Structure 1
Amino acid sequence: MAPRPFWTGHLKLSLVTCAVSMTPATTETERIRFHMMSRRTGHRVVVQYGDAATGKPVDDEDLVKGYPRGGDQYVLLEDEELDSVALESTHVIDIERFVDAGEIGWIWYDTPHYLMPDDKVGEEAFAVIRDAMRHTGTVGIARLVLYRREHAVLLEPRGKGIVVWTLRYGEEVRDPGDYVPANKMPEPDRQDVTLLGQVIGERMRPWNPDMIRDPVQARLQGIIDAKRRARPKKPINRSATAPADHVVNIMDALKASLKSAKGHKA
C-alpha cells in the first residue's frame, strides 16, 4: 500500500493551478535503528538539553536558537523572527523559471520526491504542465519549504508524474577544481584501456536493485536474530577477503581479470 503523502498543496504555473501531493521517493524505514540503553538497568536512556555553564536541565519552552558572534556571545533568534524570513506560502509550488533539462549537473541534486495530482479536477492541469516541460526538454525551478527549511527545488517530468528534487545551495557545493586530478596526468596505454574495456564488457549485467543491497544490514539482522534465540553467532572471518599487500603489473592484472571474468561467465 502506498504511504500517505507527507506534503499537500498546489502546483502553479502562470494561471494554471492544480492540487498536488508529494511523497519522498526514498525511504529508510527498513533500515535497522538502535536506541541508546543503560547496560546496568536495561532501560532506555533519555537525552535532555543542559546549560553548558550551570549544568542544569533546560526545559523545551526555554530553548532558543543562537548564532555565535565571537567568544561566548550569541545572537538569539526567536521562532517568530525565523518564520518572518520564510516563504509567505509554504504550500504552493510556483514555478518561477525553466532551464534546459541537461544543464544542471548531478552534484546540485539533493533529495527526490514524487509529485502527483491530488484530485480528479486537477489531473488535466497537472498533465499539461508535465507534458509541456517534456515537450520543451526543460525542467522547472521553484522554491518550497520542506523539513522546516526553505529549499530551491527542481521539477522534472518522469513517467506519468513529476519528480521534485531539492537542490543544494551554491555554498554547499565545493569547487571541483580543488579536488579533481590535475591536467598533467599520464596518458593511459591504449592496449590497457582496450583490455579493461573487455573486462567491463564481461561484467555487464542488466540493472537490478539487488546489486546494491546493504550487506551490513543483513549482518546486523543476523546478529539480532541470533541474540533473540540466545545462541552465540560465529564471528565473521574477514581474513579471506583481506587485500593482498603487494603491487602487480597493470597489464598482468588486466589479463588475469579478463580470464577470471570469462571463467565465471562460462
Structure 2
Amino acid sequence: MAPRPFWTGHLKLSLVTCAVSMTPATTETDRIHFHMMNRKTGHRVVVQYVDAVTGRAVADDDLVKGFPRGGDRFVLLEDDELDAVALESTRTIDIERFVDIGDIGWLWYDTPHYLVPDEAVGEEAFAVIRDAMHDTGTVGIARLVLYRREHAVLLEPRGKGIVVWTLRYGDEVRDPPDYPPTEKAPEPQRPDLVPLDTLISERLRPWSPEMIQDPVEAHLQAIIDAKKRARKKPAKSTPPAPDQPVVNIMDALKASLKSSAKDLKS
C-alpha cells in the first residue's frame, strides 16, 4: 500500500503554481524494532520526563522548549511561537534559483522525499517545471518548513516525478581532512594499476538494491524466530577471524586475480 502524504502544499516557479503532495522516499517500518522491557516482570517500561530538581514527573501540558541563556537560566518558547517562524515556506515550495545538477556534492544531501502533483488540474504545470529542469540539467533550490524547522531543499527531476532533498546547512558539513602534499605523495605507476583495473572489471555489475541488504537484520530475525520456536537462547556464533594485514598489495592483487580466474573456469 502506498504511503499517505505527510505534507501537502504548492510548488511555485514565477507565475506557474500547482498543488503537490510529498511522501518520504525512505522507510524503516520493515526494520526490526525493540521495546525496553522489565526483565523481572516481562512488562514494557515507559519513559517519563522528570523535573531535574524536584525529581517529580512532569505532565505533558507542562512541557515547554527552552534555550539555555547561561547557568541554570533558560528562555522558554511556546509552540505557537515556534509555529510562527518561517510561515511563508510552510505550505509553498517557491523555487528561488537553479544550479547545475553536478555542482552540489553528495555530502550536502540529507533526506529524500517524493513530490507529485496533488490535483489533475496541476499535472501539466508540474510536468512543465520538472521537464524544464531535466532539459537544462539543473536542480531547483528553495526553502521549506519540515519537521518544525525551515530547511534549504533541492528539487531534482526524476522519472515522472521530482525528488525533494533536504540539504545540510553549511555548519553541518565539515572540511575534508588535510591530505599529504602532492609533491610528497608517491605517484602510482601504470603497471601497478593494471591488475587492479582488471580486478575491478571482473567484479563490475549493474547496480541492484540486492547489493546492500543488511545481514545483521537477517541474523536478528533468525534469532527472534528461533526464540519463538524454542524459547531458549541460541548458541553463540563464532566471531569471524580478523583480516590478515596486506603486506604487499601487488601480491594480494595477483592472488585475487588467480582466485577470480579459477572461479570463472569452475
Please classify the TM superposition score into its range, dividing by the shorter chain length. over 0.9
Q: Distance in 1 between matches of 2:195 and 2:178?
A: 25
3-state SS in 1 of match to 2:120:
coil
Q: What does residue 181 of structure 1 align with?
A: 179
Q: CA deviation at 1:260?
A: 1.5
Distance 2:86 2:16 in 1: 24
Unaligned runs of 5+ in 1: none
Query: How many angstroms does 1:70 deviate by?
Result: 2.3
Secondary structure of 2:224 counterpart: helix
Q: Which runs of 5+ in 2 are unaligned?
A: none
Indicate the residue corresponding to 1:253 in structure 2: 252
Q: Deviations over 1:51-92 (max 9, x none)?
A: 111111111111111222222222222222222322335111
Query: Within 2, Cα distance between the matches of 1:264 and 1:42?
Result: 51
**Aligned equivalents of 1:147, 1:81: Cα separation in 2:** 15
1:233 aligns with 2:231: no
Deviation at 1:112, TM superposition (A): 0.9
TM-score (norm 1): 0.93
Per the TM alignment, residue 145 of structure 1 is displaced from its structure 2 partner at its CA by 1.1
- Whether 2:43 is the aligned partner of 1:31: answer no
Residue pairs, 1:80-229, within 5 angstroms: 80-176=80-176, 179-183=177-181, 184-229=184-229
Corresponding position of 1:264: 263
Two-structure CA RMSD over aligned residues (Å): 1.6
Residue 232 of structure 1, CA deviation: 4.3
Worse-superposed segment, 142-151 or 214-223: 142-151
The Cα shift of 1:137 comes to 1.7
Give the C-alpha shift of residue 147 in structure 1: 1.6
Say how many residue pairs are matched: 262
Q: CA contact under 8 A between 1:203 and 1:261: conserved in structure 2? A: no
Separation in 2 of the partners of 1:136 and 1:247? 47
Stretches of 4+ aligned residues off by more than 3 angstroms: none
**Contact 2:10/2:92 (8 A) holds in 1:** yes
Asked if structure 2 preserves the Cα contact closer than 8 Å seen for 1:87 and 1:144, the reply is no
Maintained 8 Å contact 1:141/1:153: yes
One-letter code aligned to 1:107: L
* Separation in 2, partners of 1:224, 1:139: 45
8 A contact 2:154–2:164 mirrored in 1: yes
Q: Distance in 1 between matches of 2:96 and 2:121?
A: 23
Alignment of 1:70-89 (within 5 A): 70-89=70-89
Give per-residue Cα distances to partners, 1:211-245, cap 9 Å, x unaligned: 10000000000000000002543322224x4312x
- The code of the aligned residue for 2:194 comes to T
Distance 2:208 2:89 in 1: 40
Say whether the 8 Å CA contact 1:192–1:254 is kept in structure 2.
no
Measured in 2, the distance between the counterparts of 1:206 and 1:133 equals 27
Identity %: 74
* TM-score normalised by L of structure 2: 0.93
> Does the CA contact (< 8 Å) of 1:8 and 1:20 recur in 2?
yes
